[in-house]
A and B are shown apart, each in its own frame.
Chain A
Amino acid sequence: MKTTRFARFLSVLLVVAVLFSAIGAISAQDRKVIVTGISMVGGDIPTIDPQLAETSASIEAINQMFVGLTAQDVTNNALAEGMATFEVTENADGGATYTFTVRQDVPWVRYNPETDAVEQLTDESGAVRMVTAADFYYGIMRGLDPRTASPYAYVPVGYINGASDFNGLVLEDGGDAAAYEQSLAELQAATAVRLVDDATIEIDAPANTLFTAYIYGLWVMRATPEWVIEEFGDLWVEAENIATYGPFALKEWAHDESMTLIKNPFWPGTAGVPQAKIDEVVFRFLDPQQQLAEYEAGNIDAIQIPLEEWDRIQADPVLSAEYVTGTNPCSYYIGFDNLEAPTDNVHLRRALSYAVDRETIVTNVTKRGETAARWFTRPDVNAAPTLELFPDLGISYDPTKAQEEFAIALTELGYSSASELQLSLSYNDSGNHGAVMQAIQQMWREVLGLEVTLDPRESATYFASLSEEAPAAYRSGWCQDYPDTNSYLYDVFFSQTTQNDTGFANEEFDQLVSQARLSQDNAERIELYARAEQILVVEEAAIIPIYWYALALMVKPNVERAPSVTGNEAYYLWDIR
């Protein structure tokens, strides 16, 4: 082994690296830089390609660099101005046509390491390339094109006439490639997205709903640079190739380590997405414990609090003052196989649900500001029932009712005692799920005298098995795609959706969520959804709602965080005092 020569080479490298980082530190002094780890738990960001993104880390990074046709006021879920203004008109076949007028003053940009500045990109003739309706058309079509295999295209597909046939066309193994291309071209033409001119794009939706405009702002439908993607293929998202236009540009992507975004001075700012106040934001990819260690060492400005250290942080006068709670739009629940014995028995499902002491779970097991859930949809999304309006809605811990229901269930199922009932509780063995499931196991034992077996499974196997055949009782969770109750009740539990693993199908429920979907009156929608929730979690007890997630963050006192309710941070609103 040439250890010595290698070591010498190594030390030279290291010295150079130290020098460089020292130089970097000096020049960075007067710039506003925020180092964050909030959504960056669990390794590298898989991609920042808007049409391929699916994880929360990817989406957060994309939101800083690409702005949608519509945007969302991240502090309150209201619709806000993004890259376009729009109007809705009724069209000939009873649907709605959305006409978007795209801003004409936003250039494509890229960071240039040689000048250490974000620069506007030009075309062959030297003219600045502006973001146009054509770039949105390209982005939308790229997302829908089956050859892109976008994992998130299925969400907008239901809201664009003709998109489903185009997106769903698969080339059979050994099929005729030329014929495939031909039918793709035809189906693309039949997809109701029309590029009218450089400023105008029209989309035909099957109906006018209160949330379709949010869907058109989703990351899969953002503008992407055709000429860059043509040239660099998969690698177009790397820092040296990418073109972006939002409030930040990509400065550096050190895979598996960090990503640095730099302020884009050419972003004009809109009502929903203003210009960035800080100069740089650095995402560091670290596990939660290491994030906290770096936070305490003063090297990271904002992190998520790891559960294990929660008690200490709460008791510490300095650290607890830096604790910030926020909304994380997800629900945690236990699903039942509603079709097979013994969980096809509604009394058993209800008994199990009444026996779960959700308050104890959120105070003693999950701890970090979660809310004990009484129903499925979290109360702060659009058209969702709230605890203030509906104090008696849903289900909560009630040992007496649990025992009554359990007695009925045992009789109906033909068991003389609880010990004859065989039931297992399945979950994916990661994170804190094991602790929550063990706590629930003990609650069922204490309240019902029922001994269930825990069935921890490896994550990928678990998720695959859920869509094939749901276990009798299983842990699950749901995070919204857009801030509307439709993203919860209709998208997950409408009897025809692919997300519904429980087998729950209720005519009245289907009718209620379909009606609420099309209604233009949010007050009416809330009433309809409240009734639907009552069916889902009490009358049918298809699932056990456990808690609504919260974000537990720590932010350094000199950093001003914008309270986001979307589950993603909007760093263009952050500032340093």
Chain B
Amino acid sequence: MGQFIFRRFFWMIVVLFFISIITFTLMRAIPGGPFSREKPLPEATLALLNQKYNLDAPLLVQYGDYIGDIVLPIITTERIRPSTAEDYLVVIPLPFIAEEAALRWINFGPTYGSRSRSVNDIFRENLPISFQLGVAAMGIAMAIGIPLGVVSALNRNTWVDYMGMGTAIMGVSIPVIITAPLLQYVFGVQLRALPVTGWGTIQSAILPAFALGFVNAALIARLTRASLLQVLNEDYIRTARAKGLPERVVITVHALKNSLIPVITILGPLFAALVTGTFVVETIFGIPGMGRYFVTSITGRDYPAIMGTILLYAFILVVMNLIVDIAYAWLDPRIRFD
């Protein structure tokens, strides 16, 4: 197990390294720069800005500097002047070396879109909000999806099943770009039942979490249904039934646990997708999460923000998959790590 996690961890670093190279190449190949303006800046000003943000160095050097700032920890002995270019996620004071000495690590660089913030600031302030939204949406998705799937499976081919699956298919068939403004208009503007935009209260989280969670509720419901049906057909369930165990025990103790295994496997990527898929919902409900940065960083050629967001989400995705694999093994003792 330990060896397995170590190996996966090593592989994760390799994956992130390749992703950083692909992203860097692609984003620098896109024409237009971070300082392309409708009112063009004079050549000299452009040169000054490029110099300030190290955009005038050869590309390979820029890449090396960027990765170096993230990966390599540095030890400073003096107080450093606050700067968006030198903002470290990890700062460990080392008072035994010098009074102001510290070990500093992980610097994702400045963001060009906001002159007083670093990419780390965006992670620190905006990511938790997207994360909360993702958790809330996931909660809604599971709270609706799993019972819906179970009820449908247990009443296979009856009207209950048809209704349940009809709802689920409806859920996956309406894109969030329709549900979000519609929910906002009906419950926020017309009924005045819930806040129109904003974040910070339970009420303000309901509409966005529901808009985001509903699609995934449908996915989970279908998967739960299919997987439970398959499990109910297995030999050991027949054996349990033949032993005369009550149906309720058969379902809850034996069938449900095993049928949730495939559901668990998609929770990881689904959760990552929830946190990344929040652009539409965050824009429409005015939530200060990370969603806006996926699009504005690319349209604004905000290079450090593009690299930062992509690497961060790749990291979340890989970690989620790892967690899922471990959970998988825990749920199903038949699975061995090779």
Nearest B residue (CB) for A481:
B39
Instruction: Determine whether the beta carbon of B115 is less than 8 Å from that of A287.
Output: no
Let me know if B201 is at the binding interface, CB within 8 A. yes
Nearest B residue (CB) for A237:
B116
Task: Given A14-B201, A297-B189, A464-B36, decide whether A3 and B135 contact each other with a Cβ distance below 8 A.
Answer: yes
Return chain B residues, CB-CB under 8 Å to A238. Answer: 116
Let me know if B48 is at the binding interface, CB within 8 A. yes
Instruction: Determine whether the beta carbon of B45 is less than 8 Å from that of A299.
Output: no
Nearest A residue (CB) for B80:
A233
Chain A stretch 131-190: residues in CB contact (< 8 A) with chain B: 146-147, 149-151, 153-154, 167-168, 170-171, 173
Binds B, one of A46-54, A446-454, A517-525, A549-557: A46-54
Binds A, one of B89-97, B163-171, B294-302, B304-312: B294-302
**Shortest distance from the beta carbon of B211 to any chain A beta carbon, whole Å:** 14
Return chain B residues, CB-CB under 8 Å to A230. Answer: 81
Instruction: Determine whether the beta carbon of A233 is less than 8 Å from that of B202.
Output: no
A233 vs B57: C-alpha distance in the bound complex, in angstroms? 24
Task: Given A299-B196, A464-B33, decide whether A234 and B42 contact each other with a Cβ distance below 8 A.
Answer: no
Quick one: CB contact mask for A281-298 with B, threshold 8 Å, 1 for yes?
A: 000111101100110110
Nearest A residue (CB) for B324:
A1
Instruction: Determine whether the beta carbon of B33 is less than 8 Å from that of A10.
Output: no
Instruction: Determine whether the beta carbon of B82 is less than 8 Å from that of A235.
Output: yes
Return chain A residues, CB-CB under 8 Å to B185. Answer: 293
A232 vs B147: C-alpha distance in the bound complex, in angstroms? 54
Using a Cβ cutoff of 8 Å, how many contacts connect chains A and B?
A: 170
Instruction: Determine whether the beta carbon of A290 is less than 8 Å from that of B82.
Output: no
Instruction: Determine whether the beta carbon of A294 is less than 8 Å from that of B48.
Output: no
Chain B stretch 214-253: residues in CB contact (< 8 A) with chain A: none
Nearest A residue (CB) for B320:
A1
Let me know if B139 is at the binding interface, CB within 8 A. yes
Return chain A residues, CB-CB under 8 Å to B300. Answer: 460
Chain A stretch 498-519: residues in CB contact (< 8 A) with chain B: 498-499, 501
Binds A, one of B15-23, B153-161, B281-289: B281-289
A271 vs B115: C-alpha distance in the bound complex, in angstroms? 33
Task: Given A49-B115, A257-B288, A294-B196, decide whether A18 and B201 contact each other with a Cβ distance below 8 A.
Answer: yes
Number of interface residues of B (CB under 8 A): 65
Centre residue among A7, A47, A49, A255 by max chain B CB count within 10 A: A255
Return chain B residues, CB-CB under 8 Å to A47. Answer: 114-116
Instruction: Determine whether the beta carbon of A294 is less than 8 Å from that of B197.
Output: yes
Instruction: Determine whether the beta carbon of B52 is less than 8 Å from that of A170.
Output: no
Which of A10, A49, A463 contacts B116, CB < 8 Å? A49
A501 vs B40: C-alpha distance in the bound complex, in angstroms? 10
Instruction: Determine whether the beta carbon of B296 is less than 8 Å from that of A255.
Output: no
Chain A stretch 5-39: residues in CB contact (< 8 A) with chain B: 6-7, 10-11, 14, 17-18, 21
Which of B38, B49, B192 contacts A151, CB < 8 Å? B49
A149 vs B300: C-alpha distance in the bound complex, in angstroms? 18
Instruction: Determine whether the beta carbon of A7 is less than 8 Å from that of B113.
Output: no
**Shortest distance from the beta carbon of A317 to any chain B beta carbon, whole Å:** 18
Task: Given A146-B48, A149-B49, A287-B283, decide whether A467 and B301 contact each other with a Cβ distance below 8 A.
Answer: no
Quick one: CB contact mask for B30-59 with A, threshold 8 Å, 1 for yes?
A: 111111111111111101110110001100
Instruction: Determine whether the beta carbon of A256 is less than 8 Å from that of B288.
Output: yes
Task: Given A170-B51, A254-B288, decide whether A233 and B37 contact each other with a Cβ distance below 8 A.
Answer: no
Instruction: Determine whether the beta carbon of A167 is less than 8 Å from that of B44.
Output: yes
Chain B stretch 100-153: residues in CB contact (< 8 A) with chain A: 110, 113-117, 121, 125-126, 132, 135, 139
Nearest A residue (CB) for B86:
A233
Return chain A residues, CB-CB under 8 Å to B32. Answer: 458-465
Let me know if B184 is at the binding interface, CB within 8 A. yes
Task: Given A173-B56, A464-B33, decide whether A233 and B83 contact each other with a Cβ distance below 8 A.
Answer: yes
**Shortest distance from the beta carbon of A151 to any chain B beta carbon, whole Å:** 6
Task: Given A168-B44, A232-B82, A463-B40, decide whether A52 and B115 contact each other with a Cβ distance below 8 A.
Answer: yes
Task: Given A237-B116, A464-B33, decide whether A286 and B197 contact each other with a Cβ distance below 8 A.
Answer: yes
**Shortest distance from the beta carbon of B323 to any chain A beta carbon, whole Å:** 7
Instruction: Determine whether the beta carbon of A21 is less than 8 Å from that of B117.
Output: no
Interface range on chain A (Cβ under 8 Å from partner): 35 or more
Which of B31, B84, B197 contacts A235, CB < 8 Å? B84
Centre residue among B85, B139, B284, B288 by max chain A CB count within 10 A: B288
Return chain B residues, CB-CB under 8 Å to A146. Answer: 44, 48
Chain A stretch 219-264: residues in CB contact (< 8 A) with chain B: 230-238, 254-257
Chain A stretch 273-315: residues in CB contact (< 8 A) with chain B: 284-287, 289-290, 293-294, 296-297, 299
A168 vs B42: C-alpha distance in the bound complex, in angstroms? 10
Let me know if A208 is at the binding interface, CB within 8 A. no
Instruction: Determine whether the beta carbon of A498 is less than 8 Å from that of B116.
Output: no
**Shortest distance from the beta carbon of B305 to any chain A beta carbon, whole Å:** 12
A350 vs B201: C-alpha distance in the bound complex, in angstroms? 58
Let me know if B188 is at the binding interface, CB within 8 A. yes
Return chain B residues, CB-CB under 8 Å to A297. Answer: 188-189, 192, 196
**Shortest distance from the beta carbon of B141 to any chain A beta carbon, whole Å:** 12
Instruction: Determine whether the beta carbon of B197 is less than 8 Å from that of A170.
Output: no
Instruction: Determine whether the beta carbon of B40 is less than 8 Å from that of A498.
Output: yes
Let me know if B199 is at the binding interface, CB within 8 A. yes
Centre residue among A7, A49, A257 by max chain B CB count within 10 A: A257
Centre residue among B51, B116, B196, B300 by max chain A CB count within 10 A: B116
**Shortest distance from the beta carbon of A49 to any chain B beta carbon, whole Å:** 6
Chain B stretch 302-338: residues in CB contact (< 8 A) with chain A: 323
Centre residue among A54, A234, A501 by max chain B CB count within 10 A: A234
Let me know if A408 is at the binding interface, CB within 8 A. no
Return chain A residues, CB-CB under 8 Å to B283. Answer: 287
Let me know if B2 is at the binding interface, CB within 8 A. no
Instruction: Determine whether the beta carbon of A463 is less than 8 Å from that of B36.
Output: yes
Return chain B residues, CB-CB under 8 Å to A11. Answer: 202
Task: Given A49-B115, A170-B51, A293-B184, decide whether A476 and B200 contact each other with a Cβ distance below 8 A.
Answer: no
A257 vs B286: C-alpha distance in the bound complex, in angstroms? 8
Return chain A residues, CB-CB under 8 Å to B48. Answer: 146-147, 149, 170
**Shortest distance from the beta carbon of B283 to any chain A beta carbon, whole Å:** 6
A294 vs B197: C-alpha distance in the bound complex, in angstroms? 7
Return chain B residues, CB-CB under 8 Å to A286. Answer: 197, 286
**Shortest distance from the beta carbon of B284 to any chain A beta carbon, whole Å:** 7
A279 vs B205: C-alpha distance in the bound complex, in angstroms? 30
Nearest A residue (CB) for B125:
A255
Return chain B residues, CB-CB under 8 Å to A10. Answer: 132, 135
**Shortest distance from the beta carbon of B91 to any chain A beta carbon, whole Å:** 15
Task: Given A7-B139, A286-B197, A464-B31, decide whether A154 and B82 contact each other with a Cβ distance below 8 A.
Answer: no
Nearest A residue (CB) for B115:
A47
Which of B36, B117, B135, B286 contacts A287, CB < 8 Å? B286
**Shortest distance from the beta carbon of B54 to any chain A beta carbon, whole Å:** 10
Let me know if B292 is at the binding interface, CB within 8 A. yes
Instruction: Determine whether the beta carbon of A293 is less than 8 Å from that of B196.
Output: yes
Which of A232, A255, A289 contacts B114, CB < 8 Å? A255
Nearest A residue (CB) for B136:
A10
Instruction: Determine whether the beta carbon of B139 is less than 8 Å from that of A459.
Output: no
Instruction: Determine whether the beta carbon of A290 is less than 8 Å from that of B286.
Output: yes
Return chain B residues, CB-CB under 8 Å to A535. Answer: none
Chain A stretch 398-443: residues in CB contact (< 8 A) with chain B: 428
**Shortest distance from the beta carbon of B182 to any chain A beta carbon, whole Å:** 12
Which of A147, A153, A256, A458 contacts B45, CB < 8 Å? A153
Instruction: Determine whether the beta carbon of A151 is less than 8 Å from that of B41.
Output: yes
Let me know if A477 is at the binding interface, CB within 8 A. yes
Which of A52, A171, A290, A458 contacts B197, CB < 8 Å? A290
User: Ordered nearest first, which 10 A-B pairs have the shortest CB separation?
Assistant: A460-B32, A256-B288, A47-B115, A149-B48, A461-B32, A464-B36, A464-B32, A257-B288, A467-B40, A463-B36
Using A49-B115, A151-B35, A290-B286 as known contacts, list a sample of 5 further A-B pairs with CB atoms less than 8 Å apart, ordered by residue number in A. Answer: A7-B135, A149-B51, A168-B44, A255-B125, A294-B197
Give 16 A-B contacts (CB < 8 Å), ordered by A residue. A146-B44, A151-B37, A151-B49, A170-B47, A237-B115, A256-B288, A293-B184, A293-B196, A296-B189, A297-B188, A299-B196, A459-B36, A461-B32, A462-B32, A463-B38, A467-B40
